């Protein structure tokens, strides 16, 4: 299996030439003091080294060995503990954390690129740090000063880990049906009792404590509240004490991510502390969820990048068949890169990966501005975060699986064999479409709440901004500008149709949401493809500029028409879906 190489030139290009990171950071004093392009470049280079030399080497063995549950203890694969200690020592868990509590204070638009490298190197390992960073984010945003001072420094340092405990067997994604209870104590704490399932990183041997953020219900209420529940109690000086009634019932045996511990967690009168206001737990949790959903989209993106590298290298090495029209070298067999179908798959993966990376950085930029900006800049960024988060999660992870499967196809029969490594990518990334809210739920959120919920205001604002930028691009043809403009108009027209009919056809949004999100995704990927090609003009590396132009041309010719297909599906409405009698299934 080829060693992973981070696309550092691509990443620097996005920060400097496409999204003008220095100008973004200059708008906010906290970021202006923390980072500049030289600092960002140094962080990317070090993250590349860590991903290649520390994380990627444990990927294959971690998959082969998996997590074990022995004597009520969760044991990670060999090498995970040593790698995690070094990863945490480098400050990577707290990269974007609050400097007041020991975080590095880096912007999210830089953090998403570091996340991509880590996910490319090893999906399973990277989840541990990602969940910890997300838990710290929610605590920092909503917990009391006392809780922040007690827990955040050790979370940012990686000495402790974080986990998000939401769903239960009878509840699934409908969190209204959770049964975990929180009983108030006289000292202001709560006793948490109940069970949670599918808890990523719920327990492991990487850290000395695991800090759980648990959704539970207070007595005599159907509202949901959020509680901080440590595995081991922590005294006022930050020292670990006795066990806290938090135990593992079992671990799941999964299709992929075998190095990631997915646990059934039991809480038996565990001492917990309220985070945020009573009955407002989902509001607090969604602070974390916005970041985690972007992170899971980046899991798909990281898979796509790793899959492309592996498949492109293999296609240039594997000799089989002769090019159509005869071998260009006169050989009796050619590398499979000469074949049209192989090129189609590689170009598709490359186009989706490049545009997906642009979406991830732009979304990270909006998270930075929503957190650190002021006035209308802050408000607008918050609107864009709401609009784009479900798209980033769903479209990036859907296309990440597509990319892994296409890359596997490039390998042919060898792609089905474990030794090549590509089949692990397929297995590991499949979950990204399911957890953190299935992609169907993301699509319903995007169409039902983020698009029609404000009568298309945010979608229209975003589309108009894209169109305005598009018209200013000097190196994009009028034909391509028209093709994109017409489809933005068609998207808004379809959205108006949904908005007009959503009350009279209550199943319309649910039945059409995935196609609408996919139409939007393929459209903005087309926009990003031509934007990247335009910004690459004059790049110091002419080959870099050439591939950006070639990928954009491929996208406009071959992938942009997918927008038309998905909009046609939405325009057909829900009758063919909903009028089928239930007994016929």
pLDDT of residue 331: 86
Task: Give, as one character, the DSSP assignment of residue 95.
Answer: T
- pLDDT digits over 11-29, tens only? 999 999 999 999 999 988 8
- Residue 345: band (very low, low, confident or very high) from pLDDT cuts 50, 70, 90: very high
Chain mean position to CA 110 = 14
Chain mean position to CA 47 = 18
Tokens describing residue 526: 């087309």
Tokens describing residue 372: 């650190």
Any alpha helices (H) in 318-374, and if so which ranges? 340-372
Single out the residue of 402, 360, 393 nearest to residue 559, CA to CA. 402
Tokens describing residue 400: 């990440």
Task: Give, as one character, the DSSP assignment of residue 126.
Answer: H
Domain boundaries of the chain, sorted by first residue: 8-156, 161-279, 443-585
Which residues are within 8 A (CB) of 544 and not within 5 positions of it... i.e. 6 or more apart?
9, 13, 536
- Residue 1: band (very low, low, confident or very high) from pLDDT cuts 50, 70, 90: low
Contact 396, 360 (CB under 8 A): yes
**Could you give the angle at which helices 108-121 and 281-317 cross, rounded to 10 degrees?**
50
**DSSP bridge pairs for 195:** 266
3-state SS, one letter per residue, for 437-483: CCHHHHHHHHHHHHHCCCCCHHHHHHHHHHHHHHHHCCCCCHHHHHH
- Residue 350: band (very low, low, confident or very high) from pLDDT cuts 50, 70, 90: very high
Q: Which residue has the higher pLDDT, 326 or 512?
A: 512
**DSSP bridge pairs for 211:** 162, 230
- pLDDT digits over 259-278, tens only? 999 999 999 999 999 999 99
Chain mean position to CA 179 = 29
- pLDDT digits over 180-202, tens only? 999 999 999 999 999 999 999 99
pLDDT of residue 333 exceeding 80: yes
pLDDT of residue 555: 98
What's the CA gap between 12 and 37, in Å, rounded? 8
Task: Give, as one character, the DSSP assignment of residue 579.
Answer: T
- Residue 290: band (very low, low, confident or very high) from pLDDT cuts 50, 70, 90: confident
CB-hemisphere CA count at 13 Å for 244? 24
Single out the residue of 552, 550, 512 nearest to residue 532, CA to CA. 552
pLDDT of residue 44: 98
Contact 250, 259 (CB under 8 A): no
Task: Give, as one character, the DSSP assignment of residue 67.
Answer: -
pLDDT of residue 94 exceeding 90: yes
The CA-atom distances, in angstroms, between 382 and each of 241, 365, 371, 576 are 40, 11, 8, 37
pLDDT of residue 385 exceeding 70: yes
Mean pLDDT, residues 360-371: 96
Contact 529, 555 (CB under 8 A): yes
Stated as kind and residue range, the H or E segment containing 14 is none
pLDDT of residue 373: 92
Is 436 part of the annotated catalytic residue set?
yes
Weakest mean pLDDT among 89-93, 167-171, 300-304, 454-458:
167-171
Contact 108, 96 (CB under 8 A): yes
Q: Do domains 8-156 and 161-279 have the same CATH topology?
A: no
Tokens describing residue 11: 């990443």
What's the CA gap between 282 and 383, in Å, rounded? 19
Single out the residue of 255, 168, 144 nearest to residue 217, CA to CA. 168
CATH class, range 8-156:
mainly alpha
- Residue 490: band (very low, low, confident or very high) from pLDDT cuts 50, 70, 90: very high
Check the CA dihedral 470-475-479-484 and report its sign. negative
- pLDDT digits over 396-454, tens only? 999 999 999 999 999 999 999 999 999 999 999 999 999 989 999 999 999 999 999 99
- pLDDT digits over 141-162, tens only? 999 999 999 999 999 999 999 9
- Residue 172: band (very low, low, confident or very high) from pLDDT cuts 50, 70, 90: low
- Residue 176: band (very low, low, confident or very high) from pLDDT cuts 50, 70, 90: confident
Q: Which one of the listed residues 33, 168, 436, 465 is annotated catalytic?
A: 436
Contact 116, 304 (CB under 8 A): no
pLDDT of residue 491: 98
Weakest mean pLDDT among 165-174, 405-414, 465-474:
165-174
Mean pLDDT score across all residues of the chain: 95
Task: Give, as one character, the DSSP assignment of residue 77.
Answer: P
pLDDT of residue 288: 80
- pLDDT digits over 392-403, tens only? 999 999 999 999
pLDDT of residue 229 exceeding 70: yes
pLDDT of residue 175 exceeding 80: no
Contact 121, 79 (CB under 8 A): no
Kindly report the number of other CB atoms within 10 A of residue 253's CB atom: 10
Tokens describing residue 29: 């004093």
The CA-atom distances, in angstroms, between 404 and each of 349, 352, 522 are 8, 12, 18
Which residues are within 8 A (CB) of 539 and not within 5 positions of it... i.e. 6 or more apart?
13, 17, 545, 548
Contact 407, 349 (CB under 8 A): yes
Domain 161-279 belongs to what topology? Butyryl-CoA Dehydrogenase, subunit A; domain 2 (2.40.110)
What's the CA gap between 526 and 490, in Å, rounded? 15
pLDDT of residue 434: 95
């Amino acid at each position: 299996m080829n060693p992973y190489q981070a696309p550092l030139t691509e990443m620097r290009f996005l920060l400097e030439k496409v999204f003008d990171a220095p100008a973004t950071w200059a708008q906010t004093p906290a970021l202006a003091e923390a980072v500049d392009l030289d600092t960002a470049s140094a962080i990317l280079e070090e993250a590349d080294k860590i991903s290649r030399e520390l994380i990627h080497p444990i990927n294959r063995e971690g998959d082969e060995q998996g997590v074990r549950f022995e004597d009520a203890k969760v044991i990670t694969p060999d090498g995970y503990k040593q790698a995690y200690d070094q990863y945490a020592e480098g400050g990577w868990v707290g990269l974007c954390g609050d400097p007041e509590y020991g975080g590095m204070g880096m912007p999210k638009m830089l953090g998403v690129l570091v996340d991509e490298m880590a996910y490319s190197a090893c999906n399973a390992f990277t989840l541990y740090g990602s969940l910890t960073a997300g838990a710290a984010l929610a605590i920092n945003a909503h917990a009391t000063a006392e809780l922040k001072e007690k827990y955040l420094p050790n979370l940012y340092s990686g000495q402790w880990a974080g986990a998000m405990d939401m769903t239960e067997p009878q509840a699934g994604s409908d969190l209204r049906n959770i049964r975990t209870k929180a009983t108030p104590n006289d000292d202001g704490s709560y006793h948490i009792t109940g069970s949670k399932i599918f808890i990523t990183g719920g327990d492991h041997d990487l850290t000395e404590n695991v800090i759980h953020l648990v959704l539970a219900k207070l007595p005599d209420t159907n509202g949901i509240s959020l509680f901080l529940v440590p595995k081991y109690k922590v005294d006022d000086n930050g020292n670990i004490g006795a066990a806290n009634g938090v135990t593992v019932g079992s671990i799941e045996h999964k299709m992929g991510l075998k190095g990631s511990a997915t646990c059934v967690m039991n809480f038996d009168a565990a001492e917990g502390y309220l985070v945020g206001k009573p009955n407002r737990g989902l509001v607090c949790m969604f602070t974390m969820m916005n970041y985690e959903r972007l992170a899971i989209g980046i899991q798909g993106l990281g898979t796509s990048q790793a899959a492309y590298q592996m498949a492109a290298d293999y296609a240039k090495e594997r000799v089989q068949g002769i090019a159509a029209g005869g071998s260009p070298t006169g050989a009796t067999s050619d590398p499979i890169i000469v074949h049209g179908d192989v090129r189609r798959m590689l170009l598709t993966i490359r186009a989706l990966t490049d545009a997906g990376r642009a979406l991830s950085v732009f979304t990270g930029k909006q998270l930075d501005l929503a957190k650190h900006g002021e006035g209308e800049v802050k408000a607008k960024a918050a609107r864009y975060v709401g609009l784009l988060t479900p798209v980033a999660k769903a479209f990036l992870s859907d296309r990440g699986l597509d990319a892994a499967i296409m890359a596997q196809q490039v390998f042919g029969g060898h792609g089905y064999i474990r030794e090549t490594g590509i089949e692990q990518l397929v297995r590991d990334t499949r979950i990204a479409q399911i957890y953190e809210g299935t992609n169907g739920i993301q699509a319903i959120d995007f169409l039902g709440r983020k698009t029609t919920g404000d009568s298309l205001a945010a979608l229209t604002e975003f589309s108009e901004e894209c169109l305005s930028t598009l018209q200013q691009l000097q190196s994009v043809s009028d034909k391509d500008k028209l093709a994109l403009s017409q489809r933005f108009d068609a998207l808004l027209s379809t959205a108006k149709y949904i908005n007009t009919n959503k009350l009279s056809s209550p199943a319309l949004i649910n039945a059409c949401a995935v196609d609408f999100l996919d139409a939007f995704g393929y459209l903005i990927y087309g926009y990003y493809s031509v934007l990247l090609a335009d910004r690459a003009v004059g790049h110091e590396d002419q080959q870099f500029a050439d591939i950006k132009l070639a990928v954009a041309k491929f996208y406009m010719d071959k992938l942009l028409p997918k927008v038309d297909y998905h909009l046609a599906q939405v325009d057909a409405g829900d009758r063919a879906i909903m009028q089928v009698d239930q007994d016929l299934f």
